[in-house]
Structure 1
Amino acid sequence: MAAATSSRGSNALSTRITSVLSASYADLEIRDALETLDARGVRNTAETRRQLRLDVQREVIQCNGEIVQGFGEVAEQLKRIGTAISSLNSYCAEMRSHIAAAHRETEPVLEEATILIGQRKQVETKQQILTAFNTHFLVSEEETTSLTSTAEPVNEEFFQTLTRAKKIHHDSQVLLGTEDQTLGLEVLEQSSKQINAAYQKLYRWIQREFKTLDLENPQINASVRRSLRVLAERPALFQSCLDFFAEARENILSDSFYAALTGSVETQNLTTKPIEFQAHDPLRYVGDMLAWAHSATVSEREALEVLFISDGDEIKRSIQAGLESEPWLRGDDDEEIFDGKKALNQLVSRDLTGVVRLLRQRTEQVIQSHDDATLAYKIANLIGFYKNTFARLLGTNSEVLELFNTLEGSAMRQFRANMRDHVAAVQNDLAVAPADLSPPEFLDEALQMLKVLAKSYDTSIAAVDSREDGFQSVLSEALDPFLSGCENLCKGMKAPDNDIFAINCLLAVKVVLAPYSFAEDRVAEMDDTIAEHAAKLVDYQHQYLGHSSGLNALLEALSDISDSSESLKTIPELEAFKPEALVAASHELDEFLPSALMDAAENLKRLGNRKMVQDITEEAARRFCEDFEFVESRILAADDLLYKEEDEEEDEPAPALRDLFPRTSGEIRVLLS
């Protein structure tokens, strides 16, 4: 039993030791306990260990007592708080009863205040809408006065107000989409009246400005250009304004042209002498008038170009906008709305109407009062030159070109009439051709006139594609009748005088026409005619050489001889080839050859072109040599056949044809070269 007791004691000790050793002294509770013991200064003694539990319990009891005492005080405080809360609850219940009574009394007032506040917000919203509406859709009295009153100037304020009025008119169409369209209709009507009145004011203002507008001033008022661009939105007013402007400019230019012609005292600051006093020559008189008209046209076009189309396509866009707002004014859909350059050319043409009328009168007086054909033709060419100039300046459809066509036709009719009178007078005085076969006097006079006409036509800068056609009518009037007279003279002449005379006349004409390209076709025709006459002269010279040399008789005798041996054998039997006749022909040829070329050239001595004389004679000599070679070949062929027969028969040989006619073709060519 002791052993068991000892065993349990050892186990308890070991358990205790194990418990102590296994305890973690890092535990917070153990650490706090140790710190508390250390703070009490407790020593590890048996007495201390016995009293420690009692001390701790006593301290716990004291702490609990303090806590109970504190809670008692808290309970007293809570009682006082409960009493206060009860008082507050009674007060609150009393206040709630008062509040409920007050709420019952003020509820109608609050409801009415709420309604009034809502109505106030609605009124404020409507006030804002009204202010915005007035600001956007209504024009003030001052702006209306500036827009419609003729006493107010057309300035930047006017254009700004007009732009705003047009925007109001456009935006008012939105109001027509609402349920109540009355307001939209009223605004639309009011804005339409204001805009129409503004355009009428602008139209009258532009008319007044046009009366005093100085187009000579390069700095044309910019407000006029802007006003025209804006007025173009009313095509009818714009066109009416253009008509008024054209009429005013027509009167101004007419007066200026009349003053330039006569130097009237009404016109001041004339820097040059009047045209009628300065230009004594009719051609210069017409030229000065045309030059003035051209200068005025250039100045007018430049000024109007700045006035009407310097802003690009602004007028076109304005007219298009006006037609969109007034579609009943629109014409054909395919028609272009506005062509600035075309309209400009038309306006300039209208401005020149008075000048054109006066120019036509004066020019026709000049044309009809002179019977000089060259003068009429020079005037026609001068008019043609200016017609092309005006066509490039104003376009081919300009009404001004009708004037030039009329004047040019009038001048050409006068030219043809004068030429026909001259031709009729010449035909009555036609005589025989000159003894030297030179061109007759009437042709020389015609060529002098033709030279003047060709030079005038060449300097008129006629259209390239119609230069020859244009001058053909001149040749038919100024040349062909005289050439016909020369041909009539040729018919009464004998050869070769008729061909020589014809060539001399044609060469004289060719000298006049050759320098001009527009007469190339006629020169080529004359070259062909000259070649025909030259061929006849070659035939004549050829016949002369053959007849004078006696060779024609031999050629005529050989005309029936063929290349066959039987035919060739008959040559010695021909009358022309018998010894006596052939020797005589040989002597005649020898006498002819030394002076053959000089004698032949003597026949053509009255031909004006010496080179042509030489060429014709040489061609005739060449053909003569060919004829001689033919005769020589026949003679040699006949001699060959004759010698063969005599050798076979062994008779006394007959005299050879070559011995009787010894000249060779080589000698002939040398002598005639």
Structure 2
Amino acid sequence: MTSNALEDQDKGNNIIKRVNKILESRLENDKDTLTALKELSTFFTENNIQSRRNLRSKIEKRSLDINEDFLSAFRKVKESLDSIYSDVLDMNTAVQNMGSQLNATKAQTHHLLEQTAKLQAENQKICMQEEITDAFLRSFQLSKTELMALREANITEDFFGALERVLSIHSSCRNLMQCGHQTSALDIMDQMAMYQEAALERLYRWAQTHCKSIESPGISQLLTKAMSKLQDRPVLFKYVVNEYCTHRRSVLVRIFLDALTKGGPSGTPKPIEMHAHDPQRYIADMLAFLHQAIPSENENLLTFLKGCDKIDVTEQVQEALTNISEGVCTPLRVRVEHIILSDISVKALYSVTNLLWFYHQTFTQEIGEFGGLVKGLKELYEQSGETLINQLTSLVKKEVESVSIPPSDLSPSPGVETLLSLLRDLLSVAPVTDSRHQYPSKIVGCVLEPLLQAVNISASRLATTDMAVYLLNCLHLMQTTLAFYEFMDERLERLQAQCDAQLDTLTSEQASSLVANLNLGPIYTILQEQGKGPLSHIPGMQPSSLNNFLRKLENFISMPELLQLPQVNCLLSGNHRTLVQKRSIEVIVAIYKQLYQCIHDPTNLYENPSSFISRTPQQVSDALLGVQPE
């Protein structure tokens, strides 16, 4: 192909590509085209041949109009900028003129400015000094309101605020002295000390007066604060506490006497003295009333001294309670002593003793052991206990006379039963939970020692076996009586030792009776004297002689109760009967075991010993005891 043909072909291809590009284009994606068409629609309203021919000229004319409008608007902007530039030039000229004038004026007024600056510095210094002076006065002097609060007759919260302020200023003066202002600090400290002393003196008189009008409950917060401030003056503090205790002591005595004679409001509860015929209730009600009143006084004192942190509050409260409670000692002692010395039963007297002991321990914990009320209760407790012991001694002395003749069945005599019944009644009055309570042990000794002596004297007239059984029955009854009460271990051990001695005696008598009835005496004697040749050749140890013992042993095994002493059946304690039987049978079993071993010993020349003595010692023990002997 020629070059011309190739060029024509390339042009045709380009045209095709352009046509295809135009056909493939999307007007909705071409923003510029859309904007141009939108603008065209504003003036191209009719689509005809004439309009299309004039379109180009219209577009060019519209463009020319737009440029003319822009030029007109820009001309106005330029004119405004020229006006502004002219104004700026004028202002610059004016500023330069003013600067020249100012420099000239400054040069003329330099001295005046220096004087003005100096005066301003002095003014600032004076203002600072004034502020410092005001701050100093606020920090180290009392305000008029605070001075009025310290001098007013009535004590209020403002008074304590002012007093606290005095203490704070006095403390701050120490720091002031360290800064080199010793003279001012000392003057201020003297002034504050004077204020403080005067305030504490007024506070002391107010608190002393206020203590005389306190009713329980009624400790005000102001009084509590007053005591916290007065603790710095121990003498004044002690005077106020004494005044409080004196007032509360008289109040406690008054309400105690009212409870005794008048009773509660409207007669409920009834007066305590209405129960004077019942000693136990009468004393219990009096002590219970005090036990209720003392804790209330304790709570009031704790509130009274709540703000005190420079003293031992616990010790101070105990001392105050001791002082307050001493007032009721005399009326309480008079009434309790009247009851103790009157003719009342031993049981009622022991009830009173227990009540006095219980409340003595209770008040000791609340008041302390050195309080007047505690000491008074201890004295009354000891007086009541001694009176009880004296009356009980006289009563026991009369009763032991009926212990002289033991009954025929060897049971404890009626006098023993009576005294032990009395002892049970006394010990059951009140549970004893404190080993320091001495009178339960004294009461037991007061009853048991004369009773044991009388029982031993009456038993000495009996035969050995009867005496052992009678004493065992009496001792068993005493042990049974004491076993239910605390702190009786030592006494029970003594009684058990006496029981063991009588059991040994009765066991010996029972064993001796069994040995005699079984003809074991000669056999036992020969067994103890071995070494004189074969036992089968010794008279009394031949098989024919031993058959008599073995027959009796078989009868005893089948019916052991036939050889039991009749006195053993009189024992009240089943354990005693069993123990006597067991020990006495163990003696027989021990002798039988020794005999069995000797018969089976070849050196003793017994023929066919297994057929001769068939039962082994274990079999005999099992048959008689049912257990292996120890």
On the 8 A contact 2:534/2:604 being kept in 1, the answer is: no
User: Does the CA contact (< 8 Å) of 1:279 and 1:288 recur in 2?
Assistant: no
The one-letter code sitting in structure 2 at the alignment partner of 1:522 is: R
* Match in the other structure for 2:496: 527
Cα deviation for residue 665 of structure 1 reads 7.4
Kindly provide the amino acid, as one letter, of the partner of residue 434 in structure 2: A
Match for 1:627: what amino acid?
Answer: I
* One of 295, 298, 308 as aligned partner of 2:295: 298
| Alignment match, 1:454 | 427
**Structure 1 Cα separation of the partners of residues 271 and 507 of structure 2:** 64
Q: Deviations over 1:542-580 (max 9, x none)?
A: 111222333324434x2663145x2635513x6x9797x
Out of 472, 484, 493, the residue aligned to residue 503 of structure 1 is 472
> Which one-letter code corresponds to 1:571 in the other structure?
I
Residue number in structure 2 paired with 1:445: 418
Structure 1: how far apart are the matches of 2:217 and 2:615?
94
Partner residue of 2:530 out of 553, 562, 568:
562
Work out the CA distance in 1 between the residues paired with 2:467 and 2:142. 100
Counterpart CA distance in 1 for 2:180 and 2:384 is 76
2:217 aligned residue: 216
Question: For residue 561 of structure 2, what is the aligned residue in structure 1?
Answer: 597
Indicate the SS of the match to 1:299: helix
C-alpha displacement of 1:339 = 1.8
The structural deviation recorded for 1:195 is 1.9
Q: Is the counterpart of residue 393 in structure 1 residue 386 in structure 2?
A: no
State the match for 1:488 in structure 2: 457
The change in CA–CA distance for 1:116 and 1:629 in structure 2 (over 3 A counts) is closer
Q: Is the 8 A contact 1:384 1:460 kept in 2?
A: no
1:294, CA displacement in angstroms?
0.9
CA 1:134 to 1:584, structure 2 compared with 1: closer, same or farther past 3 Å? closer
Q: Deviations over 1:223-243 (max 9, x none)?
A: 222222222232221121111
Q: Deviations over 1:374-398 (max 9, x none)?
A: 3333323222322333344345665
The separation in 1 between residues aligned to 2:410 and 2:122, in whole angstroms, is: 126
Q: Which digits, 9 at most, give the CA deviation of each residue in 1:220-269, with x for residues without a partner?
A: 422222222222232221121111101110110111111111228xx865
The CA distance in 2 between the partners of 1:185 and 1:668, in whole Å, is 111
Q: Distance in 1 between matches of 2:190 and 2:547?
A: 129
Per-residue deviation, 1:538: 1.4
Q: Deviations over 1:194-229 (max 9, x none)?
A: 322211221222223222223235xx4222222222
Q: After superposition, give the CA deviation of every residue in 1:500-537 in whole Å (9 maximum; x if it has no partner).
A: 11111111112122223422343344333323322221
How far off its partner does 1:129 sit? 7.2
Q: Which amino acid aligns with 2:478?
A: V
Aligned to 2:376: 403
Give the distance between the partners of 1:161 and 1:212, measured in 2 at CA. Answer: 26
Aligned counterpart, 1:11: none
Cα distance between partner residues in 2 of 1:175 and 1:577: 125
Task: Give aligned pairs, total.
Answer: 516
Change (3 A) 1:115 1:587: closer
**1:315 partner letter:** C
Amino acid at match of 1:146: A
Paired with 1:538 and 1:399, the residues of 2 have a C-alpha distance of 60
Gapped runs of 5+ residues in structure 2? 1-107, 626-630
Q: Which residue of 2 aligns with 1:202?
A: 203
Q: What is residue 322 of structure 2 aligned with on the other side?
A: 349
Matched, 1:244 2:246: no
Contact 1:439 1:505 in 2 (8 A): yes
1:172 is displaced (CA, Å) by 5.4
Determine helix, strand or coil for the equivalent of 1:315.
coil
Deviates more, 1:157-166 or 1:426-435: 426-435
Percent identity between matched residues is: 23
Is 2:158 the partner of 1:157? yes
- Give how far 1:178 is off: 10
> Residues 126-165 of structure 1: matches in 2 within 5 Å?
135-139=138-142, 143-150=146-153, 153-165=154-166
One-letter code of the match for 1:561? E
Counterpart CA distance in 2 for 1:154 and 1:560 is 106
Per-residue CA distance 1:341-398 (angstroms, 9 max, x = gap): 2322332232211123432332233223246443333323222322333344345665
The Cα shift of 1:148 comes to 3.1
Q: Secondary structure at the match of 2:308?
A: helix
Residue type matched to 1:384 in 2? Answer: W
Give the alignment's TM-score, normalised by structure 2. Answer: 0.69
| Other-structure match for 1:28 | none
**C-alpha separation between the residues in 2 aligned to 1:190 and 1:270?**
59
Confirm or deny that 1:571 pairs with 2:535.
no
Q: Is 1:275 matched up with 2:272? A: yes
3-state SS of paired residue (1:230):
helix
TM-score by length of structure 1 reads 0.65
Report the Cα offset of residue 418 of structure 1.
2.1
Return the alpha-carbon distance in structure 1 between the equivalents of residues 326 and 388 of structure 2. 27
Pairing 1:18-33 to 2, within 5 Å after superposition:
none
| Counterparts in 2 of 1:129 and 1:427: CA distance versus 1, 3 Å | same
Q: Deviations over 1:465-521 (max 9, x none)?
A: x57x77444432232221222222222321211111111111111212222342234
Distance 1:641 1:195 in 2: 120
**AA paired with 1:530?**
C
1:139 and 1:527, CA in 2 relative to 1: closer, same or farther beyond 3 A? same
Q: Alpha-carbon deviations, 1:591-623, whole Å to 9, x = none?
A: 877765234152322211234324422432342
Amino acid at match of 1:503: L
Query: Relative to structure 1, is the Cα distance of residues 611 and 137 closer, same or farther in structure 2, using a 3 angstrom cutoff?
Result: closer
Residue 568 of structure 1 contacts residue 638 of structure 1 at CA under 8 Å; is this kept in 2? no
Report if the CA contact (8 A) 1:225-1:308 is conserved: yes
Would the alpha carbon gap of residues 168 and 429 (structure 1) be closer, same or farther in structure 2, given more than 3 Å must change? Answer: same
Change (3 A) 1:561 1:125: closer
Secondary structure at the counterpart of residue 487 of structure 2: helix
